[in-house]
Amino acid sequence: MPDLISINSKGYGKIHKAVMRNSVFPLLAKTIYAYICAYAGCGCMAFPKWDKIVRDLQINKVPIPST
């Protein structure tokens, strides 16, 4: 009999609605939060290097200042 595969074993992470629904957080902050949640998976910690985040999300290392 094959082992059951859970959603967590496929590399998904849990994202809290309170963060994603907060209108104060900019889109980039929510994107990085979701990325780190997915990176952590079932665990409670993740420590990807900033260069990896920049490369994977194809974002700038230095944010463009808003006017």
Name the residue ranges covered by the structural domains of the chain: 13-57
Report how far residue 53's alpha carbon sits from residue 48's, in angstroms, rounded to the nearest whole number. 7
pLDDT at 40: 81
CA distances from 49 to 1, 7, 43 (A): 40, 25, 17
| Secondary structure letter of residue 59 according to DSSP | -
| Secondary structure letter of residue 58 according to DSSP | T
Residue 11 · residue 41 · CB < 8 Å = yes
pLDDT at 8: 59
Taking the whole predicted model, whether its pTM rises above 0.85 is answered as no
pLDDT at 67: 59
Q: Average pLDDT across each block of 10 residues of the chain; the chain has 67 residues. List them in order.
A: 60 84 94 88 80 92 68
CA 64 to chain CA centroid, nearest Å: 20
